Amino acid sequence: MTNIHSVLTDVYTVSEMTDSTQSERGPVARVGKRERLVSAARELVYRQGVARTTLADIAQEADVPLGNVYYYFKTKDDIVGAVVEDRGAQLESTFAELERRHRSPKPRLKALVAGFADRADATAQFGCPYGTLSSELAKRDDGSDPLAAPLMQIQLDWVEQQLRDMGRRDARDLAIDLIAAYEGSTILASALGQPELMASQTRRLQRWIDTLQP
Protein backbone atom coordinates (compact mmCIF):
# COMPACT_ATOMS: atom_id res chain seq x y z
CA MET A 1 0.00 0.00 0.00
CA THR A 2 1.09 3.60 -0.59
CA ASN A 3 2.88 5.27 2.31
CA ILE A 4 -0.13 6.45 4.29
CA HIS A 5 1.86 8.59 6.70
CA SER A 6 3.03 10.84 3.87
CA VAL A 7 -0.51 11.12 2.53
CA LEU A 8 -1.88 12.28 5.87
CA THR A 9 1.01 14.61 6.72
CA ASP A 10 -0.99 17.74 5.90
CA VAL A 11 -3.70 16.81 8.37
CA TYR A 12 -1.70 15.81 11.40
CA THR A 13 1.86 17.14 11.23
CA VAL A 14 1.86 20.52 9.52
CA SER A 15 2.52 22.27 12.80
CA GLU A 16 5.41 19.94 13.64
CA MET A 17 7.02 20.63 10.27
CA THR A 18 6.60 24.36 10.84
CA ASP A 19 8.13 24.16 14.30
CA SER A 20 11.11 22.22 12.93
CA THR A 21 11.69 24.78 10.22
CA GLN A 22 11.54 27.64 12.71
CA SER A 23 13.96 25.97 15.11
CA GLU A 24 16.50 25.51 12.32
CA ARG A 25 16.25 29.00 10.90
CA GLY A 26 15.30 31.03 13.95
CA PRO A 27 11.88 31.85 15.42
CA VAL A 28 10.86 34.25 12.67
CA ALA A 29 12.24 32.18 9.76
CA ARG A 30 10.47 33.11 6.53
CA VAL A 31 7.01 32.66 7.95
CA GLY A 32 4.88 35.81 8.19
CA LYS A 33 3.34 36.96 11.43
CA ARG A 34 -0.19 36.07 10.37
CA GLU A 35 0.85 32.52 9.44
CA ARG A 36 2.68 32.13 12.75
CA LEU A 37 -0.35 33.35 14.66
CA VAL A 38 -2.67 30.93 12.89
CA SER A 39 -0.24 28.05 13.41
CA ALA A 40 0.12 28.89 17.10
CA ALA A 41 -3.64 29.24 17.53
CA ARG A 42 -4.23 25.94 15.77
CA GLU A 43 -1.96 24.06 18.16
CA LEU A 44 -3.10 25.84 21.32
CA VAL A 45 -6.77 25.35 20.48
CA TYR A 46 -6.08 21.67 19.83
CA ARG A 47 -4.16 21.14 23.06
CA GLN A 48 -6.21 23.26 25.47
CA GLY A 49 -9.44 24.21 23.70
CA VAL A 50 -10.93 27.45 22.43
CA ALA A 51 -12.26 28.69 25.75
CA ARG A 52 -8.91 28.42 27.57
CA THR A 53 -6.87 29.92 24.75
CA THR A 54 -6.38 33.69 24.90
CA LEU A 55 -4.97 36.10 22.37
CA ALA A 56 -2.05 36.64 24.76
CA ASP A 57 -1.36 32.90 24.73
CA ILE A 58 -1.38 32.88 20.94
CA ALA A 59 0.89 35.91 20.69
CA GLN A 60 3.39 34.37 23.08
CA GLU A 61 3.36 31.01 21.28
CA ALA A 62 3.84 32.72 17.91
CA ASP A 63 6.53 35.07 19.23
CA VAL A 64 4.51 38.06 18.07
CA PRO A 65 3.88 41.16 20.23
CA LEU A 66 0.32 41.15 21.53
CA GLY A 67 -0.36 44.56 20.02
CA ASN A 68 0.49 43.23 16.58
CA VAL A 69 -2.16 40.53 16.83
CA TYR A 70 -4.91 43.11 16.42
CA TYR A 71 -3.48 44.18 13.09
CA TYR A 72 -4.41 40.76 11.69
CA PHE A 73 -7.29 39.67 13.92
CA LYS A 74 -9.65 42.04 15.70
CA THR A 75 -11.12 39.38 18.01
CA LYS A 76 -10.42 35.84 19.18
CA ASP A 77 -13.37 34.70 17.07
CA ASP A 78 -11.56 36.01 14.01
CA ILE A 79 -8.49 33.92 14.68
CA VAL A 80 -10.60 30.86 15.52
CA GLY A 81 -12.27 31.32 12.15
CA ALA A 82 -8.83 31.38 10.54
CA VAL A 83 -7.96 28.14 12.36
CA VAL A 84 -11.12 26.46 11.03
CA GLU A 85 -10.29 27.68 7.53
CA ASP A 86 -6.74 26.39 7.88
CA ARG A 87 -7.91 22.98 9.11
CA GLY A 88 -10.36 22.82 6.23
CA ALA A 89 -7.62 23.58 3.72
CA GLN A 90 -5.52 20.78 5.21
CA LEU A 91 -8.39 18.36 4.74
CA GLU A 92 -8.96 19.42 1.15
CA SER A 93 -5.25 19.03 0.44
CA THR A 94 -5.20 15.57 1.97
CA PHE A 95 -8.23 14.44 -0.03
CA ALA A 96 -6.69 15.75 -3.24
CA GLU A 97 -3.54 13.77 -2.47
CA LEU A 98 -5.54 10.61 -1.79
CA GLU A 99 -7.26 11.03 -5.15
CA ARG A 100 -3.92 11.53 -6.86
CA ARG A 101 -2.35 8.44 -5.30
CA HIS A 102 -5.30 6.08 -5.63
CA ARG A 103 -7.37 5.65 -8.77
CA SER A 104 -10.45 4.11 -7.21
CA PRO A 105 -12.66 4.99 -4.23
CA LYS A 106 -12.17 1.91 -2.03
CA PRO A 107 -8.35 2.27 -1.74
CA ARG A 108 -8.84 5.98 -1.03
CA LEU A 109 -11.19 5.23 1.84
CA LYS A 110 -8.88 2.56 3.26
CA ALA A 111 -5.94 4.95 3.03
CA LEU A 112 -7.92 7.64 4.83
CA VAL A 113 -8.84 5.21 7.60
CA ALA A 114 -5.25 3.98 7.90
CA GLY A 115 -4.18 7.55 8.54
CA PHE A 116 -6.49 7.75 11.54
CA ALA A 117 -4.10 5.63 13.58
CA ASP A 118 -0.96 7.55 12.64
CA ARG A 119 -1.39 10.04 15.45
CA ALA A 120 -2.97 7.69 17.96
CA ASP A 121 -0.89 9.00 20.89
CA ALA A 122 -1.85 12.63 20.25
CA THR A 123 -5.46 11.62 19.63
CA ALA A 124 -5.61 9.72 22.91
CA GLN A 125 -4.27 12.79 24.71
CA PHE A 126 -6.14 15.61 22.96
CA GLY A 127 -8.83 13.98 20.81
CA CYS A 128 -9.50 14.46 17.11
CA PRO A 129 -8.31 17.91 15.98
CA TYR A 130 -11.48 18.36 13.92
CA GLY A 131 -14.01 16.70 16.20
CA THR A 132 -12.90 18.43 19.39
CA LEU A 133 -12.89 21.85 17.75
CA SER A 134 -16.28 21.33 16.11
CA SER A 135 -17.80 20.03 19.33
CA GLU A 136 -16.52 22.93 21.41
CA LEU A 137 -17.81 25.49 18.94
CA ALA A 138 -21.19 23.77 18.88
CA LYS A 139 -21.53 24.15 22.67
CA ARG A 140 -20.89 27.87 22.97
CA ASP A 141 -23.06 29.75 25.45
CA ASP A 142 -24.47 31.99 22.72
CA GLY A 143 -25.59 29.05 20.60
CA SER A 144 -23.98 26.78 18.05
CA ASP A 145 -21.27 28.61 16.13
CA PRO A 146 -21.59 28.44 12.33
CA LEU A 147 -17.93 27.43 12.34
CA ALA A 148 -18.84 24.19 14.12
CA ALA A 149 -20.11 22.36 11.05
CA PRO A 150 -17.65 22.88 8.15
CA LEU A 151 -14.87 20.52 9.26
CA MET A 152 -17.30 17.64 9.75
CA GLN A 153 -19.16 18.52 6.55
CA ILE A 154 -15.99 18.50 4.44
CA GLN A 155 -15.18 14.98 5.61
CA LEU A 156 -18.71 13.68 5.20
CA ASP A 157 -19.05 15.12 1.71
CA TRP A 158 -15.78 13.61 0.51
CA VAL A 159 -16.46 10.16 1.97
CA GLU A 160 -19.98 10.25 0.56
CA GLN A 161 -18.65 11.08 -2.90
CA GLN A 162 -16.26 8.13 -2.79
CA LEU A 163 -19.12 5.82 -1.87
CA ARG A 164 -21.32 7.25 -4.61
CA ASP A 165 -18.51 6.63 -7.07
CA MET A 166 -18.63 3.01 -5.90
CA GLY A 167 -22.29 2.93 -6.88
CA ARG A 168 -23.71 2.96 -3.37
CA ARG A 169 -27.19 4.43 -3.21
CA ASP A 170 -26.87 4.60 0.58
CA ALA A 171 -23.64 6.62 0.34
CA ARG A 172 -24.74 9.32 2.77
CA ASP A 173 -25.72 6.87 5.49
CA LEU A 174 -22.49 4.92 5.07
CA ALA A 175 -20.42 8.12 5.20
CA ILE A 176 -22.07 9.04 8.48
CA ASP A 177 -21.36 5.54 9.80
CA LEU A 178 -17.67 5.80 8.93
CA ILE A 179 -17.07 9.27 10.35
CA ALA A 180 -19.17 8.52 13.44
CA ALA A 181 -17.18 5.34 14.07
CA TYR A 182 -13.92 7.21 13.85
CA GLU A 183 -15.01 10.13 16.02
CA GLY A 184 -16.44 7.72 18.58
CA SER A 185 -13.15 5.85 18.76
CA THR A 186 -11.24 9.10 19.36
CA ILE A 187 -13.51 9.91 22.30
CA LEU A 188 -12.96 6.46 23.79
CA ALA A 189 -9.21 6.54 23.20
CA SER A 190 -9.00 9.96 24.83
CA ALA A 191 -11.29 9.19 27.77
CA LEU A 192 -9.61 5.87 28.53
CA GLY A 193 -6.09 6.94 27.63
CA GLN A 194 -5.77 3.97 25.30
CA PRO A 195 -4.28 4.90 21.91
CA GLU A 196 -4.34 1.23 20.88
CA LEU A 197 -8.11 1.61 20.43
CA MET A 198 -7.36 3.68 17.33
CA ALA A 199 -5.40 0.83 15.75
CA SER A 200 -8.10 -1.76 16.42
CA GLN A 201 -10.80 0.57 15.10
CA THR A 202 -8.73 1.23 11.98
CA ARG A 203 -8.51 -2.49 11.26
CA ARG A 204 -12.23 -2.93 11.80
CA LEU A 205 -13.13 -0.05 9.50
CA GLN A 206 -10.82 -1.30 6.78
CA ARG A 207 -12.42 -4.75 6.93
CA TRP A 208 -15.82 -3.06 6.75
CA ILE A 209 -14.79 -1.06 3.68
CA ASP A 210 -13.64 -4.30 2.02
CA THR A 211 -17.14 -5.74 2.40
CA LEU A 212 -18.80 -2.83 0.59
CA GLN A 213 -20.02 -3.78 -2.87
CA PRO A 214 -21.64 -1.63 -5.57
Residue 119: burial class (beta carbons within 10 Å; 0-12, 13-18, 19+) = buried
pTM score above 0.85: no
Q: What is the pLDDT of residues 51-61, one digit of tens each?
A: 999 999 999 99
Residue 140's pLDDT is what?
72
Rounded to an integer, what distance in angstroms lies between the CA atom of residue 53 and that of residue 125?
A: 17
Average pLDDT over residues 109-127: 86
Rounded distance, CA 40 to CA 166, Å? 39
- The whole-number pLDDT of residue 144 equals 58
pLDDT tens digits, residue range 44-103?
Answer: 999 999 999 999 999 999 999 999 999 999 999 999 999 999 999 999 999 999 999 999
User: pLDDT tens digit string along 39-52?
Assistant: 999 999 999 999 99
- Domains of the chain (ranges; CATH) run 4-211 (1.10.357.10)
What is the distance between the alpha carbons of residues 51 and 197, in angstroms, rounded to a whole number?
A: 28
Q: Quick check: 199 pLDDT over 90? A: no
Q: What angle do CA 59, 51, 185 make, to 5 degrees?
A: 110
Q: State how far the alpha carbon of 31 is from the alpha carbons of 21, 25, 39, 64, 152, in Å.
A: 9, 10, 10, 12, 29
